[in-house]
Amino acid sequence: MFYMSKYVEFLDTYFLILCGRPVSWLQFLHHCGAPLNFGLLYLTKSEGMWIIVCFNGFIHTIMYYYYACCILKWSFPLPKPLITVMQLVQFASGGIGFGFYPYVQTAGKWFWDDGPRRFSWWVTYDYVGILIMLFSHFYVRNYVVPARIKRKLKKDAAKAE
């Protein structure tokens, strides 16, 4: 069921459009890659998928509430940059937890000795690595750089007085 929910998440794109925001490469790659990655994890019966499912479900609950607030013109109770920080924490902590699965043995067989599971593990790490880079870039571009520009403008304005 969670795998199927990845297709429902294409609604995120519609929420962005409803809020008047452009659809970025981050959005496109994140939502195209998620069904592929979760499908691969499902097909290879990767036990570590529960970590990713729990963390991903938690962050998407918060994100959908944020989108609902945008559409309904309600105030969102958390600072907006916190959503991106939480996504980055989700990727990093999920990656750490999933990283132990090569050392797991089930039904007398080591996770790492199963070629398809090993492949799904590598695909997941590559995908999450790309997402960490894209989300980090998004965070810096949207929250760090504008804050620096604001500080510089204030400083310049103070000097001009």
Positions marked active-site? 30
Give the residue among 121, 67, 75 at the shortest CA–CA distance from 94: 121
Interior/surface letters 13-41, b for 16+ CB within 10 angstroms, e for the rest: eebbeeeeeeeeeebeebbebbbebbebb
- The radius of gyration of the chain's CA atoms, rounded to the nearest angstrom, is 19
Contact between 88 and 136 under an 8 Å Cβ cutoff? The reply is yes
Distance, CA of 47 to CA of 104 (rounded, Å)? 9
**28, two tokens:** 């496109």
Q: Distance from first CA to last CA of the chain, Å, rounded?
A: 61
Helix (H) or strand (E) holding 117: helix 115-139
